[in-house]
Amino acid sequence: MDEKDHSETGRSDSSPYESVPSPDEVGGSYESISTPNEVDDDREEYLIEGLSIKPTSSDNAAAYEYEDLKRSSDTKTQWVHIFYWPIYTLFIFPIQYIIRAFMWGFWKNWDIPTKIMILSGEAKENFQKLSFLGNPDRRAVYLRASRVYTPAQLFPFVPGSKPIPEDSTSERLQAPNNWNKIRKQVYKRDGHTCVNCGEGGGPNGTAELHADHVLPRSRNGPNTLSNLRTLCRECHEARHARKFN
C-alpha cells in the first residue's frame, strides 16, 4: 500500500461509528454506486467519532460535506481570523516552538550532533509544509491537523474541526486485496473531484487522487465507502500535516 492509495496505517476490527450507514447504504453497492448528480439516493447525515458528515446538494460533485474540511466566509468568522492570527503568530506560536525546542534539546538523552540533526530535519520539514499555506482550502485543513491552535478549535461558532489524527503507535498493515476497486468507487461517488479543494482527477482533470480514511485505519477505521473520501495528493498531505515520500 503506497502513499498514492492512502497514507493511514494500522488495523481494523470493531466499528467506531455512531449511526453510520453501511457501504451499501451510501449511494449503492461497490458495483452500482453513482454520483449524487446521477441519482436521488438515501444519503443521510452521520457521525464518525463525533465528526459530522452531511450529504451535499445535487449540484455538488462530492457526495458529502465533512466537518473537518468545512470553511466559512461569513463576516463574523473573517473578523475572528483577522484578529486571531497576528496575535497567535507573534506571541503564542513562538512560545510553543521554544518549549518544543527546549524539550528536544534538554529532556532527550541524545548527544548534541543528534539533537542538531533532529531539529534541523524538523525545520526543513516545516519549511516544505509552507506550500500548504498558498491554497486557502489546504491551509485550513493543514493548520487544523498540525500542532497549531486554530479558531475552529477554540471558538464553537467558527465552522470546522480538527481531522481525526492517525495513531503513530499502531503497526502498518497491507491494503485489502480489493483496495484498488474500493478506491475507484470512492472516486466515482465523489465525481473524481477532491472534496476539499475541488480539483478534478481521472476523467475530470490532472490531479492525483487519493482515497482518504476519515477515521484512520490506525484507529480501527474500516475500508468502507462511508469512511472514505476523495482528496487530491496535496490536500491528503495537508490533512495529515506532512509531506508524503
The DSSP letter of residue 89 is: I
Range of the domain at 131: 75-154
Query: Which of 101, 136, 154 finishes a domain?
Result: 154
Q: Give the per-residue pLDDT at 161.
A: 93
- Structural domains in the chain (count): 2
Residue 214, in any domain of the structure: yes
Whether 9 and 166 have beta carbons less than 8 Å apart is answered as yes
Query: Which of 98, 122, 154 finishes a domain?
Result: 154
| Count of beta carbons in the 10 Å neighbourhood of residue 217 | 24
Sign of the dihedral defined by the CA atoms of residues 70, 72, 77, 80, in that order: positive
Residue with cell 466566509: 73
Query: Which of 126, 154, 182 finishes a domain?
Result: 154
212 and 232 share one domain: yes
* Cell, residue 243: 509531506
Separation CA 95–CA 99 (nearest Å): 6
Separation CA 85–CA 91 (nearest Å): 10
86 and 148 share one domain: yes
pLDDT tens, the chain, 245 aa long: 444 444 433 333 333 333 333 333 333 333 334 444 444 467 889 999 999 999 987 667 778 999 999 988 889 999 999 999 999 999 998 888 788 777 766 666 777 787 778 777 777 777 778 889 999 999 999 999 998 899 998 999 999 999 999 998 888 777 899 999 999 999 999 999 999 999 999 999 999 999 999 999 999 899 999 999 999 999 999 999 998 87
